[in-house]
């Protein structure tokens, strides 16, 4: 059995980024940039008007003759004299001679001249060329997550393909004779299988959408065969249940027989003690406890950072938050505790129902309060550390 800190270190040290792949920008949402991206153009590519109005050369003069028009998409080489302005629209090319745009609301306009009622300062309403980025400048460094805005930025620079890290293929193996698929009739002695759906949902929150689920009974041969196939096809294998010390827990034995190297088994924590972590070549294997709350707790603590490492994130751990505890916690277990909790701007409440089987409390929690193994008594009003969850 190892401590939480050591387990985290082993997971981080063994989960390297996936290989790179070239990908179309419109398909790259949720991927992480693998190679520095440079801008092929300046943005904006030319001096642009930021308003609908009139472009002119700034002076003390208030009256100007209108000598042309520049609509978005136009490009004219018009030369402006000191007393001349052109009608201009948002996003349109600003003539080289003009330095200022007055918005139309601040002008009294006739057909062929304007009187500026409210004079803007010089350079107002003109977006300089390259205001957002210059040609050849860095758009994104490696390890940047591609959000919708990032995709938009790449597209506005005319970039259509980039190098990202591949997303890992994740396979889930669910074990248990007692499990029934939700939607089917629940027979006596059975329960609905929830871990695979829950873990798929948790994976989706970081953009892992396609996860194949394999299901086996508590049967040595079936476990062996399923493992063989799932290990071959995935970069990360998540197993639910069968990893404890019961007579029908076959997972660990079969993992080792299938050539998975054990990196650790059992962690000094509650819930979530019976967990196995191992690897076979580049494939990572997490055998999570079957109890749903333990399974999800360990998913957040260990699996998520590993998935993020594989995806190429530089920050693999969510920033923790600190809040004032509004009750007392006693910990005489000698283990690290992860307590389902709800926090607000200032305080945190430990929820009723901390058993490793209980999802009712987890379902309304927004964080796990981390109680260090040697913190025997945390008093009401003390600050505690929370791992936020969503
Ligand atoms: P195990 O780790 O296989 O001994 O399972 C521990 C507990 O978790 C048992 O009460 C199981 O019925 C329950 N359990 C195991 N797998 C699942 C699952 N996929 N969905 C819901 N409950 C599960
Ligand atoms: Mg079981």
- Work out the end-to-end distance of the chain between its first and last CA atoms, rounded to an integer number of angstroms: 29
Say what the pLDDT of residue 74 is: 95
User: Are 292 and 234 part of one and the same domain?
Assistant: yes
Q: Is the CB of 191 under 6 A from ligand 1?
A: yes
pTM here is 0.92
Q: Is the CB of 176 under 6 A from ligand 1?
A: yes
Listed as ranges, residues in the chain with pLDDT below 50 are none
Do residues 5 and 148 make contact, with C-beta atoms less than 8 angstroms apart?
Answer: no
Q: Is the CB of 271 under 6 A from ligand 1?
A: no
Q: Is the CB of 272 under 6 A from ligand 1?
A: no
User: Are 285 and 358 part of one and the same domain?
Assistant: no
Q: Is the CB of 30 under 6 A from ligand 1?
A: no
What atom of ligand 1 comes closest to residue 291's alpha carbon? Answer: 8
Q: Which of 238, 290, 357 to mutate to test the pocket of ligand 1 (most atoms within 8 A of CB)?
A: 290
56 burial class (0-12, 13-18, 19+ CB within 10 angstroms)?
buried
Say what the pLDDT of residue 390 is: 83
The CATH code of the domain that includes 266 is: 3.40.980.10
User: Are 222 and 106 part of one and the same domain?
Assistant: no
Q: Which of 173, 174, 176 to mutate to test the pocket of ligand 1 (most atoms within 8 A of CB)?
A: 176
User: Are 227 and 354 part of one and the same domain?
Assistant: no
User: Are 207 and 343 part of one and the same domain?
Assistant: no
CA 116 to chain centre: 49
Cα gap 178→387, rounded to integer Å: 32
* Domain containing residue 347: 321-384
Q: Is residue 348 part of a domain?
A: yes
The CATH code of the domain that includes 107 is: 2.170.190.11
User: Are 191 and 278 part of one and the same domain?
Assistant: yes
Specify the number of domains making up the chain: 4
User: Are 304 and 175 part of one and the same domain?
Assistant: yes
The CATH code of the domain that includes 368 is: 2.40.340.10
What atom of ligand 1 comes closest to residue 242's alpha carbon? Answer: 3
User: Are 226 and 302 part of one and the same domain?
Assistant: yes
User: Are 188 and 300 part of one and the same domain?
Assistant: yes
Task: For residue 206, report the distance from its CA to the centre of ligand 1, in Å.
Answer: 25
User: Are 227 and 306 part of one and the same domain?
Assistant: yes
Do residues 131 and 113 make contact, with C-beta atoms less than 8 angstroms apart?
Answer: no
| Element containing residue 152 per DSSP (H, E) | helix 148-156
User: Are 348 and 289 part of one and the same domain?
Assistant: no
The CATH code of the domain that includes 31 is: 3.90.105.10
């Amino acid at each position: 059995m190892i401590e939480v800190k050591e387990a985290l270190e082993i997971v981080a040290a063994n989960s390297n980024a996936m290989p790179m792949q070239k990908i179309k920008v419109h398909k790259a949402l949720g991927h992480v940039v693998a190679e520095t991206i440079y801008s092929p153009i300046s943005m904006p590519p030319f001096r642009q008007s930021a308003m609908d109005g009139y472009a002119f050369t700034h002076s003390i003069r208030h009256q100007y003759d209108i000598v042309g028009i520049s609509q978005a998409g136009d490009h004219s080489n018009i030369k402006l004299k000191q007393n001349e302005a052109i009608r201009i629209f948002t996003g349109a090319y600003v003539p080289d001679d003009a330095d200022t745009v007055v918005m139309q609301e601040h002008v009294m306009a006739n057909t062929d001249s304007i009187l500026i009622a409210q004079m803007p300062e010089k350079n107002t309403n003109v977006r300089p060329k390259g205001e957002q980025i210059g040609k050849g400048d860095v758009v994104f460094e490696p390890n940047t997550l591609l959000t919708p805005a990032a995709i938009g930025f790449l597209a506005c620079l005319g970039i259509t393909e980039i190098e990202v890290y591949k997303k890992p293929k994740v396979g889930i193996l669910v074990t248990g004779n007692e499990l029934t698929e939700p939607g089917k009739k629940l027979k006596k002695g059975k329960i609905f299988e929830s871990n695979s759906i829950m873990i798929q949902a948790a994976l989706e929150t970081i953009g892992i959408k396609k996860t194949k689920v394999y299901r086996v009974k508590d049967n040595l041969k079936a476990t062996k065969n399923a493992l063989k196939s799932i290990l071959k096809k995935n970069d990360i294998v998540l197993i639910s249940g069968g990893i404890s010390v019961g007579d029908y827990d076959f997972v660990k034995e079969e993992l080792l027989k299938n050539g998975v190297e054990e990196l650790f088994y059992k962690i000094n924590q509650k819930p979530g003690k019976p967990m196995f972590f191992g690897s076979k070549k580049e494939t990572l294997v997490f055998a999570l406890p079957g109890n749903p709350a333990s399974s999800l707790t360990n998913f957040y603590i260990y699996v998520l950072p590993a998935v993020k490492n594989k995806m190429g994130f530089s920050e693999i751990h969510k920033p923790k938050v600190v809040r004032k505890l509004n009750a007392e916690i006693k910990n005489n277990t000698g283990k690290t505790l992860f307590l389902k909790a709800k926090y607000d701007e200032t305080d945190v409440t430990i929820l009723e129902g901390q058993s490793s089987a209980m999802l009712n409390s987890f379902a309304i929690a927004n964080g796990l309060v981390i109680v260090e193994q040697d913190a025997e008594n945390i008093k009401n009003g003390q600050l505690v550390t929370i791992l936020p969850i969503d």
